[in-house]
Amino acid sequence: MNLSIHRPAVIAGGIVLIFLTAWESTVHLLKFPVYLLPAPSRVFRTLFDHPLLYLEASAYTLGEALAGLLLGVLAGTILAALLTLFPGIEDGVMTLAILIKSTPLVAIAPLLTLWLGFGVLPKILITALLTFFPVLVNVLSGFQRIDRPLMDLFHSYHASRWEIFRYLRIPLALPYLFAALKISTPLALIGAVVAEWSGASNGLGHMMWLAYSNLNLPFMFAATFILAAAGMLLYQLVLWTEQRVIFWQTLSSED
Amino acid sequence: MKVEISDLSHTFPGKPPRPALQNLTFEVASGQFIAVIGPSGCGKTTLLRLIANLLTPSAGKITIAGLSPAQVNQAQRLAWMAQNPALLPWLNTLDNINLARRLVQPNGNPGLTAQAALERVGLAAYARAYPPTLSGGMQQRAALARILTLNAGLWLMDEPFAALDEITRENLAVELLGIWQPLKPTVLWVTHNIYEALRLADRVIALSSAPAQIIFDESIDLQRPRVESQPAFQQILARLRSALGAGSSPHWGQL
């Protein structure tokens, strides 16, 4: 394998390894009690002792996070498209969007749980609410970006508003969509977990909450490790997709 | 298409308002190749944008084959080409041209096919190449091929080769004449290059610095290809130089 391509991964892995080693030795040297700070080795052992338990909880939480993300991205993109095609409504809708955005999640989450129960629906909705705003703001500025030479060309064709939107604004907004996804993807995991804290029957957030109530810190950290790893993998997936979708940004002429 | 400009003025709003054109009146016969020359910022691009219906004049009238610029634009009978080739980076050369053909459907009389147009400008081998991988000269060739497929009666060209190196620029200018001669669309060619204007055009109009007024207007009745060393060429050049020297700023001498 080519080392230069994987260099960032090697460096990141190295730093994580150093961090875990420092953590491990500090715990052993200072003899931290396990209910305050378990050693990483202990956390991993907990993880591998209950693989099915964690697998199920992870599937549950990741499912909520991805469904919520999808909903948030769709809602944000569609709303941004509507605001671009019908600019008259922008001010009103944006005020409303900021109002929703500024309402604290911790206030909405218990309410939604109260209304919709302990199932996945309130989690998906909360995640969607959390991820929707970065998508709306970014994609909207992508749609509204003016590329003067291309606009002139399309106007010289007497292209309709819809044709300009379809052939010009959508591709021009794609880099902005991916910028938004880089913010919203990690947020989706946070959304799902926080939503589970306010009442759930399964999931990593639910496990963390139970473990915390029982001061079972290895159990709690194990869930945290999974979340961190999942967040990193999802982020890499976004980067990988971005490079393939917006392929023209890395093309260049030879002279 | 015959172009009639009468008493055309344009002032950009602002504080203070910026007058760009003042009481311009001239006519362009159908099938003529006209070069409009003038110092930077003199309003020659504004003139072209007004004819292209990319701007609405503050006063005066533009008539193109008896129609208003808006009507000609709506009928998709004008072609626009500027310094920026305005190729969509996410479409290959062929698809860029095909998109233009999809957006512009001239009344039952299509121009060249995309493939034929690419062959005409010597880019057939690059049909599948993406614009960012092409050199500046090749990108302008592609933009020229795109115009060829539109079958427009009026070509509005705003310094299309200004960003290219001198050799590419001269070669492209010669090829452009070869493409223009059999089709004979009306061409308005904006440039700040005196030699280019005199080599290419049937007639040269020079504008003063803003607000632009006509300070030189002469037909160039010389056989093409024109040689700069010709006495007749030198005489016209001298007259154009002195007109521009009298009508504008001191930096003009370096041209």
> Please, what are the domains in chain B?
3-77+153-254 (3.40.50.300), 82-150 (no CATH)
Residue of A nearest to B104 (CA): A157
Give the count of beta carbons closer than 10 Å to the beta carbon of residue A189. 25
Please indicate whether, in this complex, the C-beta atoms of A255 and B90 are within 8 angstroms of each other. no
Mean pLDDT (chain B) is: 90
Taking Cα atoms as reference points, which of B46, B50, B143 lies closest to residue B93? B143
Please indicate whether, in this complex, the C-beta atoms of B74 and A157 are within 8 angstroms of each other. no
Residue boundaries of the structural domains of chain A: 34-246
Encode pLDDT of B197-225 as tens digits. Answer: 999 999 999 998 878 889 999 999 988 88
A63 and A120 Cβ atoms separated by less than 8 Å = yes
Encode pLDDT of A217-226 as tens digits. Answer: 999 999 999 9
Please indicate whether, in this complex, the C-beta atoms of B54 and A150 are within 8 angstroms of each other. no
Encode pLDDT of A197-224 as tens digits. Answer: 888 889 999 999 999 999 999 999 999 9
Nearest CB partner across the interface for A157, out of B89, B104, B130: B104
> What's the ipTM?
0.92
Chain A residues close to B76, C-beta within 8 Å: 157-158
A136 and A97 Cβ atoms separated by less than 8 Å = yes
For residue B254, is pLDDT > 50?
Answer: no
Q: Which residues contact A172 (CB under 8 A, 6 or more apart)?
A: A142, A143, A145, A147, A150
Taking Cα atoms as reference points, which of B73, B11, B15 lies closest to residue B43? B11
Q: Are strands B154-158 and B186-191 parallel, antiparallel or unpaired?
A: parallel
Report, as an integer, the average pLDDT of B179-208: 92
Say if A53 is an interface residue toward chain B (CB within 8 Å). no
Taking Cα atoms as reference points, which of B17, B26, B27 lies closest to residue B58? B17
C-alpha gyration radius of chain B: 18
Mean pLDDT (chain A) is: 91
Report, as an integer, the average pLDDT of A137-145: 94
For residue B250, is pLDDT > 50?
Answer: no
Report, as an integer, the average pLDDT of B30-59: 93
For residue B90, is pLDDT > 90?
Answer: yes
Give the count of beta carbons closer than 10 Å to the beta carbon of residue A40. 17
- CATH classification (class only), A34-246: mainly alpha
A133 and A76 Cβ atoms separated by less than 8 Å = yes
B148 and B180 Cβ atoms separated by less than 8 Å = no
Structure tokens, A58: 């992870």
Amino acid at site A227 = L
For residue B248, is pLDDT > 90?
Answer: no
Please indicate whether, in this complex, the C-beta atoms of A150 and B100 are within 8 angstroms of each other. no
Encode pLDDT of A42-71 as tens digits. Answer: 999 999 999 999 999 999 999 999 999 999
Report, as an integer, the average pLDDT of A31-36: 90
Q: Which residues contact B92 (CB under 8 A, 6 or more apart)?
A: B127, B128, B129, B130, B131
Alpha-carbon distance A44 to A211, whole Å? 15
> What is the value of pTM for the model shown?
0.86
**DSSP classification of residue A250:** G
Gap from B79 CA to chain A (nearest CA, Å): 7
C-alpha gyration radius of chain A: 22
B11 and B19 Cβ atoms separated by less than 8 Å = yes
Task: Give the distance, in angstroms, between the CA of residue A252 and the centroid of all CA atoms in the same chain.
Answer: 31
The per-residue pLDDT for B252 is 44
Going by pLDDT thresholds of 50, 70 and 90, the confidence category of residue B108 is low
Please indicate whether, in this complex, the C-beta atoms of B133 and A154 are within 8 angstroms of each other. no
Alpha-carbon distance A204 to A58, whole Å? 6
Report, as an integer, the average pLDDT of A128-137: 93
